[in-house]
Amino acid sequence: MTENAASGPAVELTINGQAVRAERHMTVVEAAWANGVPRVSGVGCLEGVCGSCRILLRRGKEVGVALACETLVEPGIEVLFLPPPAAPRHQYELTDLSDGWDIQARFQEIFPEAARCRHCHGCVRSCPKGIVVEEGVALAVAGHFREAGEAFFECVMCELCDTACPEQIAPAHVGLFCRRITAFFHLRPPNLINRLEEIRQEPPQDGKEKP
């Protein structure tokens, strides 16, 4: 750390392989701008909402991910800005789901890998918003889409959890699916759906067809 007459000690760190210096109150994004990374007007929210400024962050032997606009500079850290996420590979149209009754089967067709979660907690550890990502995926696999959607309510779609998932589950897109279909269908609770289906399949008691 070296002295800066105007703002006190400067912080020395590495951004994208370049040794840089920044004022200690700066975020990593501000440090990048101060060291020559072009500032593009109107791109990014700088408030941890748009999820665009994804970084890999090394502190000594510890490696993690974060959002650069929410991360203050620290002496000796190494920062690598990550490229934008790849285009989503799970394709579906909400209007192709004719009603709310077959969503569980369709979910398993669209996200077959979701059932292979190995509970490694990688997605939870990588989430800058403290979302219970792993639990949200498990809820979706069990057909509890409304609850899963609620678990992902604060998700900013940074997709750092997708980057961390060894099973390529794309938890962010599982959460997005759940939020979308909950809004689209105003889903009934799964216990109610299951009970109504049981009733529908029970044989008639008096020889009359059920309405």
Contact footprint for ligand SF4 (CB under 6 A): 51, 117-123, 126-127, 129, 131, 133-134, 137, 152, 155-161, 164-167, 169, 171-172, 175
**What minimum distance in Å lies between the beta carbon of 147 and ligand SF4?**
15
Smallest separation, CB 197 to ligand SF4 (Å): 28
Q: Min. distance of Cβ 128 from ligand SF4 in angstroms? A: 6
* CB neighbourhood size of 37 (10 A): 15
Q: Least separation, in Å, of the C-beta of 107 and ligand SF4?
A: 15
* Closer to ligand SF4 by Cβ: residue 52 or 126: 126
Taking the complex as a whole, the smallest distance from the CB of residue 109 to ligand SF4 amounts, in Å, to 18
Backbone torsions φ then ψ of 174, nearest 5 degrees: -60, -45
Residue 46 zone, left/alpha/beta (φ > 0; ψ -120 to 50; rest): left
Percent helix, strand, coil in the chain, to 5, is: 40, 15, 45
Determine the Cα–Cα distance for residues 34 and 145; give it in Å rounded to an integer: 44
Helix, strand, or coil here: 54? Answer: strand
Task: Give 122 or 143: the residue with its C-beta nearer to ligand SF4.
Answer: 122
Question: 80 with 56: CB under 8 angstroms?
Answer: yes
54 in Cβ contact with 160 (< 8 Å): yes
Rounded Cα distance between 207 and 197, Å, is 19
Distance CA 206, CA 211 (A): 13
Question: In whole angstroms, how close is the CB of 175 to ligand SF4 at the nearest point?
Answer: 6
Nearest to ligand SF4 of 27, 152 (CB atom) = 152
Nearer to ligand SF4, 118 or 210 (CB): 118
Q: Which is nearer to ligand SF4, 11 or 51 (CB)?
A: 51
Which lies closer to ligand SF4 via its Cβ, residue 88 or residue 100? 88
